[in-house]
Structure 1
Amino acid sequence: MLSPSSRANRGWWDGNADDYQVEHGGFLRDSGFVWGPEGLDEAAARLLGEVRGRRVLEIGCGAAQCARWLVSQGARAAAFDISHRQLRHSQRLDDATGLRVPVVQADAESLPFGPASFDVACSAYGALPFVADPLAVFREVRRVLRPGGRFVFSVSHPIRWAFPDDPGPRGLTSDRSYFDRGPYEERDERGTLTYVEHHRTMGDWVGLLAASGLTITGLLEPEWPEGHEGVWGGWSPLRGRHLPGTAIFSCANI
């Protein structure tokens, strides 16, 4: 049974998937692995290591652009997302590129895969900011990873929650406590939850990973690169050169 957060976000992404892909599809590419708004590309970063011949799971895949790139690199990739509409876009991109990714609709808190099914799991801003119980997700990831498997995921950098989601100068002045774990919520006129994102501090993420049994092997905070002038929501060159926008955790199932 879906949690209120998962239920709300499934509806929101089903309703907004078309606009999202129109707005951001060029940046993400039909087959490309971008870790966040800074544009850090897995083709250069190689945080997943050698993927050729590996069984790789993309978590919260959207239109599976990352998994499709992994297929192009010789990986045996699969992917899932909570949004059926996003997965329809994945099918569209499969047809356009000829790179096919097996996808399934699922909630990250309860994965429809057997134990030790994958060598690598990854997520680029997928699922984890939107779930009410990230510990359940981490435990599920550990269950479906083989011993020694690798898990790498990116999320909004926790410090960003202390600042307005504004790409301009206003976004450089903190207006709330970093330690306020209250989620960002949107509700309709009847008070029904329609969208939610959850805030965890850096310490929260570390503690959750430790509690799941996964071992943190690296933490990357990408800098905003010179020449990147794009704006994505609250992310911009102005803010990106002052504040970290993304945190990328690398973990091992030891």
Structure 2
Amino acid sequence: MNDDHRVTRRQVGDAEARHANRRWWDADADAYQAEHGSFLGDVDFVWCPEGLREADARLLGDVAGRRVLEIGCGAASCSRWLATEGARPVALDLSAGMLRHAAQASARSGVRVPLTQADALALPFGDEVFDIACTAFGAVPFVEDSAALMREAHRVLRPGGRWVFSVTHPMRWIFLDDPGEGGLVAVHSYFDTAPYVEQDEHGVATYVEQHRTLGDRVRELVSAGFRLMDLVEPEWPEGHEGIWGQWSPLRGRLFPGTAIFVAEKPAG
């Protein structure tokens, strides 16, 4: 996505990707929260840099009394908001650094939720124990076998349960990771699903983010047993002048930056 030799697109195995991303998020947790914490809030459910909130979108449906699993929770602001809505959430993340911030935010806000450190590809829960599973940009883009993650989400959900996740809109991978005019020029093939990789001087991955097409995501969901209910592509709202990485008003007003998949495990 830029010309630095330490940034490339190449295949990365599951073990290398898992190790790289766990170390990255542990090391970057402080900087990430310093930059984005005020936007995300301590007790709020923000789906994406466009600022779409679950309080307005209600993509999860009625959460009161429901057991909810947040996969890739980061600092767990979404789970704390869910708790204030009467849900019974569990917040899960691979990164100890992010969970440390989750614990600190719980102490600040007074809203405490169970925190679990675990791998999204091996959820430490029994079958059919949650009513809802969700994640806002967590886990899904960072695992090599995202189809397996879909199967895990399906496994832990009760029949009729809902699985909702947001990711970078797949078409964004066509462009450079640039919020300015340079990010308006198509340079990559949409169909090239080699991951974005940052690596050290020895060629060892230090950060890995996976690309899947819209069709890939639909096939993953259907193969896992889900029924796709909606695909939400939030528009850039008027008056929102913030920049978050490659998200910006310039790009956001021209093409989508986020895709939110709303799926259901059939009841019968």
TM-score above 0.5:
yes
Q: Does 1:100 align with 2:112?
A: yes
Q: Which residue of 2 aligns with 1:249?
A: 261
* Code of the aligned partner of 2:255: L
Q: Which residue of 1 aligns with 2:163?
A: 151
* Code of the aligned partner of 2:175: F
Q: Which residue of 1 aligns with 2:206?
A: 194
How many percent of aligned residue pairs carry the same amino acid? 60
5+ residue gaps, structure 2 = 1-13
Q: Which residue of 1 aligns with 2:219?
A: 207
- CA distances 1:144-176 after superposition (whole Å, capped 9, x unpaired): 000110111000000000001111011111011
The runs of at least 4 aligned residues of structure 1 exceeding 6 Å deviation read none
Q: 2 CA distance for matches of 1:155 and 1:10? A: 18
Q: Which residue of 1 aligns with 2:175?
A: 163
Task: After TM superposition, give the deviation of residue 3 of structure 1 in Å.
Answer: 2.2
Q: Does 1:175 align with 2:187?
A: yes
- Count of residue pairs the alignment pairs up: 253
* Code of the aligned partner of 1:238: L
Q: Which residue of 1 aligns with 2:57?
A: 45
RMSD (CA atoms): 0.8
- CA distances 1:48-84 after superposition (whole Å, capped 9, x unpaired): 0111110001010000010010001110000110100
Q: Which residue of 2 aligns with 1:109?
A: 121
Q: 1 CA distance for matches of 2:33 and 2:264? A: 32
Q: Which residue of 1 aligns with 2:148?
A: 136
Q: 2 CA distance for matches of 1:148 and 1:80? A: 22
Q: 2 CA distance for matches of 1:3 and 1:127? A: 15
Q: 1 CA distance for matches of 2:237 and 2:49? A: 10
Task: After TM superposition, give the deviation of residue 199 of structure 1 in Å.
Answer: 0.5
Task: After TM superposition, give the deviation of residue 101 of structure 1 in Å.
Answer: 1.1
Q: 2 CA distance for matches of 1:101 and 1:18? A: 21
* Code of the aligned partner of 1:163: F
Q: 2 CA distance for matches of 1:121 and 1:174? A: 34
5+ residue gaps, structure 1 = none
- SS state at 1:3 partner: helix
Q: 1 CA distance for matches of 2:18 and 2:87? A: 29
Q: Does 1:229 align with 2:233?
A: no
Query: Normalized against structure 2, the TM-score is what?
Result: 0.93
Q: Which residue of 2 aligns with 1:91?
A: 103
